[in-house]
Structure 1
Amino acid sequence: MTDTAVRHDTLAAALWPSHGKLAEMNGLARASLLALVGSLLLYASAKVQVPFYPVPITMQTFAVLVIGMAYGWRLGGATVAFYLAQGAVGLPVFAGTPEKGLGLAYMAGPTGGYLLGFLLAAIAVGWLAERGWDRSVLKTLAAMVLGTAIIFALGVLYLGALIGWDKPVLDFGLYPFLPGAVFKIGLAAAVLPLAWKAVSKRG
């Protein structure tokens, strides 16, 4: 069986097809608009803090992974790359900006690995979504665990290389955020299959 044969529509494609009656824009304009909307959601998710234990959380990893799965690996990856490019040129789109710096200097700081993780995680979960992993709770849960693991792995590895492994790197960059990550994984695993059910009923 070829790769094309097993590919499924993404949620974005189901809601706004690139062909047929709803295709009022050409493909590039549609993709550009979706990428812009996705980048604005990423910006908003970085700025809103949710009270949580043991530390407040943003909803950014949730937004990254949901956008990746809803858009698919190409558009999801392009959307996160567009968001990162906005930050690279100095726009205050990241958490803690402009207070903690701007542009490439911020991206080279302690959160740099997590930002790279956003891009790779969106591509990974988007690839899985195109193979139907966003249709069931269990598969969505597995995809979200994988995506979150990618973000944390790259974030912690970069943080350790930056500040030194003689420091309590896991205490700084992993352990405090695990409860929030579990919450966001569970939320995403519920939201995406429910969205597909709503789309199916509408159809």
Structure 2
Amino acid sequence: MTDTAIRPVLAEAAWPAEGAMLQARRLGLAVLGIVALSLAAKIGVPMWPSPVPVTLGTFAVLTIGVAYGPRLGLATILGYLAIGALGFDVFAGSSASNNGLAYMLGGTGGYLAGWVVAALALGHAARRGFDRSIAGMALTLLVGNVLIYVPGLLWLHHLVAGGLFDATRFATPWEQTIAWGLTPYLIGDALKLALAALLVPGLWKLVGASRR
């Protein structure tokens, strides 16, 4: 294993801990991450007729994955999804009547699965120092976004082809899938990626300055 494969991630550098304090840090960060994800998911704009709204959830997931590292980042995302699966109103479009597993198997289901993959991948990238520079962070976030979109679009296409296809407006199910699940979000995602690409390296500079 090379030196770059064992670099500390942002959360570890900003809050060093050992022993019992290490466990307290992990638990505290996981709870904080779940709360942040829940709030970020509710800050959104509906993109009718698409069943997938534009939210800050992706921004929160990618930032948590990079800042927490692969293990804690993955645990935080899985914890958030588990809470949602139990019926708590933590997802973008969930409500008292539409929540839990029924909601997770709807239009956003593939994107939620992509969050898990992206958080794990970005955590590993952070271990290799890709989050220390704007260019490295931008590349990492771009890959993370692709990892979210791939399962998201595949699942949405499954739903469209399974009964949601509108032949009066779209030539094929894939055309409708792209129109519903990709093109409305590109500009918003570009802005969120740019913000995260600037934020995390900036936080690294603050952490480095505080250690001098």
Deviations 1:102-153 (A, max 9, x none): 1000001111000000111010011000110100000000000000111111
Q: TM-score, normalised by structure 2?
A: 0.87
Is 1:191 matched up with 2:199?
A: yes
Is 1:163 matched up with 2:160?
A: yes
* Residue 18 of structure 1: how far off its partner (Å): 2.2
Over aligned residue pairs, what C-alpha RMSD do you find?
2.0
Counterpart CA distance in 2 for 1:173 and 1:151 is 11
* Residue 196 of structure 1: how far off its partner (Å): 0.3
* Residue 156 of structure 1: how far off its partner (Å): 0.3
The residue type equivalent to 1:34 in the other structure is L
* Residue 96 of structure 1: how far off its partner (Å): 1.1
- The percent identity for this pair of structures is 42
- From 25, 34, 39, give the equivalent of 1:39: 34
- From 103, 107, 127, give the equivalent of 1:106: 103
* Residue 57 of structure 1: how far off its partner (Å): 3.0
Match of 1:144 in 2: 141
Q: Is the 8 A contact 2:13 2:207 kept in 1?
A: yes
Number of aligned residue pairs: 196
Match of 1:72 in 2: 69
Deviations 1:51-92 (A, max 9, x none): 99xx97321101000000000011001000000000000000
Match of 1:13 in 2: 12
* Residue 100 of structure 1: how far off its partner (Å): 6.6
Q: Is the 8 A contact 2:89 2:96 kept in 1?
A: no
* Residue 28 of structure 1: how far off its partner (Å): 2.5
Counterpart CA distance in 1 for 2:207 and 2:182 is 36
More helix by share: 2
Give structure 1 stretches of 5+ with no counterpart.
none
The residue type equivalent to 2:198 in the other structure is A
Give structure 2 stretches of 5+ with no counterpart.
166-171
Counterpart CA distance in 2 for 1:159 and 1:5 is 37
Runs of 4 or more, structure 1, over 6 Å off, are none
* Residue 3 of structure 1: how far off its partner (Å): 4.8
The residue type equivalent to 1:95 in the other structure is A
